[in-house]
Amino acid sequence: MFITFEGIDGSGKSIQAERCVDFLSAHYKVLHCFDPGHTPIGNAVRAILLDKENSRMDARTELLLYAAARSQLVVEEINPFLAKGGIVISDRFYDSTTAYQGYGRKLPLSLIHQLNMIGAHERVPDITFIIDTNLNIAGKRISEADRLESESIEFKQRVQEGYRAIAKQEPLRCKLINGNRSIEIIQQEICAYIKKKLDADL
Ligand SMILES: Nc1ncnc2c1ncn2[C@@H]1O[C@H](COP(=O)(O)OP(=O)(O)OP(=O)(O)O)[C@@H](O)[C@H]1O
Ligand SMILES: [Mg+2]
């Protein structure tokens, strides 16, 4: 099973992914990864993407770099782990590209979709949790440190709306989670959802 966590910066993805890894590790082999990054090549690309010095980066350059980092992650880590029967939990995956580069930067969604499939080697998550957190609440949770987190409020709103659109378009894969609640309550909802899905798959 391949599970991804998505949402705007500060929505609570990483904490929920961590809790989910802890919950599942008791019974399953679990790989916890993050996109972009995790592999040596992916981390080198991630550094380019987040560097404030790279403010001149073209939107398509950015798109291609994310796809490149993801390709390496899928081939080097995700696919081999799934092939061995493990559960993979990824902090972000290609829906981030759709939300940020598609809805946020307004690159054509058809182009994004094509590139997402290329970068993911057609690997589609089984469950995607989209943590939907109010922009003000999410903003207060994070320090605005890197290049992407210093985007305008309009950009962040488009990204948020993008995630909601993805959840509507793919309701079987994507589960929209109200991220304005406590860490524990959200965690309970996510764990219950995964448990139900795992039981159904047995
Ligand atoms: N539901 C919540 N209630 C209160 N605080 C939370 C909640 N979820 C996360 N936090 C806290 O907010 C901060 C940001 O959360 P987290 O790192 O999980 O967000 P993120 O979505 O991964 O952000 P980023 O996109 O910047 O990586 C952390 O300090 C985390 O402990
Ligand atoms: Mg995070």
Residue 151: per-residue pLDDT: 81
Give, in order, the Cα–Cα distances in Å from 101 to each of 75, 110, 116.
23, 12, 11
Tell me if 7 CB under 6 Å of ligand 1: yes
**What percent of the chain has pLDDT above 70?**
96
96 lines ligand 1 (CB under 6 A): no
Residue 14: per-residue pLDDT: 97
Question: What does 118-153 look like in DSSP terms, one character per residue?
Answer: HHTTT---SEEEEEE--HHHHHHHS---STGGG--H
What is the edge-to-edge ordering of all strands in the sheet holding 2-7? Answer: 30-34, 87-91, 2-7, 127-132, 174-178
**CA dist., res. 199 & res. 188, Å (int):** 16
**Structural domains of the chain sorted by starting position, each given as residue range(s) with its CATH number in brackets:** 2-201 (3.40.50.300)
Could you read off the pLDDT of 18-27 as tens digits, one per residue? 999 999 999 9
CA-closest residue to ligand 1 atom 2? 183
Ligand 1 contact, 185 CB (< 6 A): no
109-132: per-residue pLDDT in tens? 999 999 999 999 999 999 999 999
The dihedral through the CA atoms of 46, 50, 51, 53 has a sign that is: positive
Question: Closest ligand 1 atom, CA of 17?
Answer: 18
130 lines ligand 1 (CB under 6 A): no
Q: What is the pLDDT of residues 132-186, one digit of tens each?
A: 999 999 988 887 555 556 688 999 999 999 999 999 999 999 999 999 999 999 9
Q: Which two structure tokens, joined as six digits, stand for 85?
A: 């029967």
pLDDT for 144 = 59
